[in-house]
Structure 1
Amino acid sequence: MSVLAELRRRSRAIGLPALGACVLAYFAYHTVQGDRGLLALMRLSNEAEKAQLALDRLRGERLSLEHRVSLLDKRSLDLDMLEERLRLDLQKLRENEIVIFLPNQS
């Protein structure tokens, strides 16, 4: 009987700190690995940085296109731009011109 009593007494003394350690380990694990943990935060910040770079690139393309469109505005028409657009759209050449096709650089 004394062995069982000793085991019960020690299990009470060890049980509460062991339970606390398990709860602490659970929260520590989910702080790092969870859906809203530190690793998820780093992954989301990387995705946000990539999206910002894509947004900056698209804004640059848009500004370039807006500039080209403004050159075709009837209030300030650039004749070189008009000729370039007509040649591309209608695919017309002059008699003495030579066409050299270049590979796409996309």
Structure 2
Amino acid sequence: MQRMRSEPRLKSEKITQLGALSLLLIMSGLAVAGPSGLLAWGENLHMLDQRNSELKQAIVERDALKNRVERLDPNGADPDLAGELVRRDLNVVHEDEMVLILK
């Protein structure tokens, strides 16, 4: 009779151990191949470098636009820039000017 009592206990222990082992295997698999695992690490570093270079380019463009806005201040606009914009956007030239188109 004692054997019958110990068999269900062994089965439940085996089920518990199997569940713990499967949970451990799943967690290990996610640590290696998950979205933030070891395999994704290199891709994340590459994306970080790409985003940093895009950020540097955006900062350069922002500074250039900021400089242009400052030069177009209505209280004291840069005459060279204003003349360039008028000629380029409105196709306005003086009668004595010649336009050379460079390709």
Interval containing the TM-score (normalised by the shorter chain): 0.5 to 0.7
Aligned partner of 2:82: which letter? Answer: L
Distance 1:90 1:33 in 2: 58
Equivalent residue, structure 1, for 2:34: 34
State the TM-score, normalizing by the size of structure 1: 0.63
1:98 maps to 2:89: no
State the TM-score, normalizing by the size of structure 2: 0.64
Deviations 1:32-63 (A, max 9, x none): 22222112122122112211211110111011
Equivalent residue, structure 2, for 1:63: 63
Q: Secondary structure at the match of 2:93?
A: coil
Considering only aligned residues, what root-mean-square deviation do their CA atoms show, in Å?
2.9
Q: Which runs of 5+ in 2 are unaligned?
A: 1-17
Query: Where has structure 1 moved over 4 Å in runs of 4 or more?
Result: 19-29
Distance 1:85 1:98 in 2: 15
Identity rate, percent:
27
Aligned length: 88
Equivalent residue, structure 1, for 2:81: 81
Q: 1:83 to 1:96 in 2, by over 3 A?
A: closer
